[in-house]
Amino acid sequence: MHTEQPAEALETADIYRTEPPDVVRRSMKRRIGEQLSTALMPLIRRAARPYLGGEDIADALCVAERLAEDGFAVSLSYWDRGHEPLEKIEAIAIAALSAMASAGAPGYLALKPPALRFSKDAARRIAAVAAPLGLRLHFDSHGSDVVERSNTMLEVMLEEMGPAQLGTTLPGRLTRSRQDAEWVIDRGLNVRVVKGAWPDPSCPGEDLGAGFLDIIDRLAGRARYVAVATHDLKVGHAAIAKLQAAGTPCEIEVLLGMPAKPLLDWAKANGVRVRIYVPYGFGFIVNAVGVLRRNPHLLLAITKAQLARIGR
């Protein structure tokens, strides 16, 4: 039987990083990005808050309110530094639940099991807070080597809340996601399907689109609820068509700031619900630069807003 290791023992283990391996390898590039991000923070704080996730849950909820006005549901997720203690990550999650309940935010809270050090006790406490508030919890995906620990946390959480309030993520590129799909279906959990950022050591050449749709085929007609998390119009269209044909409730989910207009336009025209994943916290700093880089028109809008503020 797996027993929890002391938090301090997990603190330095590489497998408990919440970033994909390709990001971890680019440590110098990341440090440069962080320095640039820090330099941009005064501008981002003042002008970009309506467009990006922000530093804390209050910022994220401001974005959620704006998105709700445009008809979008949200999922909120704290992006950690990779070295915060378990107690801090747990406290941030509980504070987020309280703030979401107070704001009546139409969304759920996404958690990163590695940041919670795979603590069953923390999982139980967070679930115990979310359950009476009627809020959903969802696990983001990581590498294949930590899925069992994440699933153990979900089992514990199911003792505190019903499956309708709980979900997890299946990456199409991981071979084991086929069996994990059966595990999810058996427990009646909500599920988000992604292509996946972590490579599968047993099958490094996996076709991401084909793997994604394979998982969709396994879930169609059998899963409680499926979020199709992609920015790819072709894959998103095919996945939604399969799920709808099987009568499975579903939606599109996209990362805030990612260029996905063709998919969003298609979803709106066809009455498909769209959810926006809103990251906040430390990851917001690095993510903000990435979002601005991918959306130069957004940078221009923010700059104009800042100049208008200065000119008042």
pLDDT, tens only, 149-186: 999 999 999 999 999 999 999 999 888 999 999 999 99
pLDDT band at 11 (very low <50, low <70, confident <90, very high): very low
| Both tokens assigned to 221 | 């007609």
Query: 275: buried, middle or exposed (CB in 10 Å: 19+, 13-18, 0-12)?
Result: buried
Is the domain 7-310 a CATH 3.20.20.220 member?
A: yes
What is the rounded CA–CA span in Å between residue 49 and residue 60? Answer: 8
What is the rounded CA–CA span in Å between residue 79 and residue 71? Answer: 25
- The answer to whether residues 112 and 142 touch, using CB atoms and an 8 Å cutoff, is yes
Lowest mean pLDDT among 116-125, 140-149, 204-213, 301-310: 301-310
| Both tokens assigned to 193 | 């399907």
pLDDT band at 274 (very low <50, low <70, confident <90, very high): very high
What is the rounded CA–CA span in Å between residue 177 and residue 256? Answer: 25
Kindly state the average pLDDT of the residues 238-244. Answer: 98
Flag whether pLDDT at 137 surpasses 80: yes
How high does pLDDT run on average in the chain? 82
What's the pLDDT tens digit per position in 246-269? Answer: 999 999 999 887 778 899 999 999
Please state the domain extents for the chain: 7-310
Report pLDDT for 4: 41
Q: Which residue has the higher pLDDT, 256 or 43?
A: 256
What b/e string do you get for 226-240 counting C-beta neighbours within 10 Å, with b at 16 or more? bbbbbbbbebbbbbb
* Total-model pTM: 0.80
Q: Which residue has the higher pLDDT, 148 or 145?
A: 148
Report pLDDT for 277: 94
pLDDT band at 46 (very low <50, low <70, confident <90, very high): low
Say if strands 166-171 and 107-111 run parallel, antiparallel, or are unpaired.
Answer: unpaired
Report pLDDT for 24: 46
Report pLDDT for 14: 40
Continuous segment of H or E residues that includes residue 272: none
User: What are the Cα distances from residue 248, in Å, to 162, 170, 235?
Assistant: 19, 16, 17
Cβ neighbours for 161, distance < 8 A, ≥ 6 positions apart: 127, 130, 131, 137
Kindly state the average pLDDT of the residues 110-126. Answer: 96
Give percent above pLDDT 70 in the chain: 70
Torsion from C-alpha of 281, 284, 286, 288, nearest 10 degrees: -160
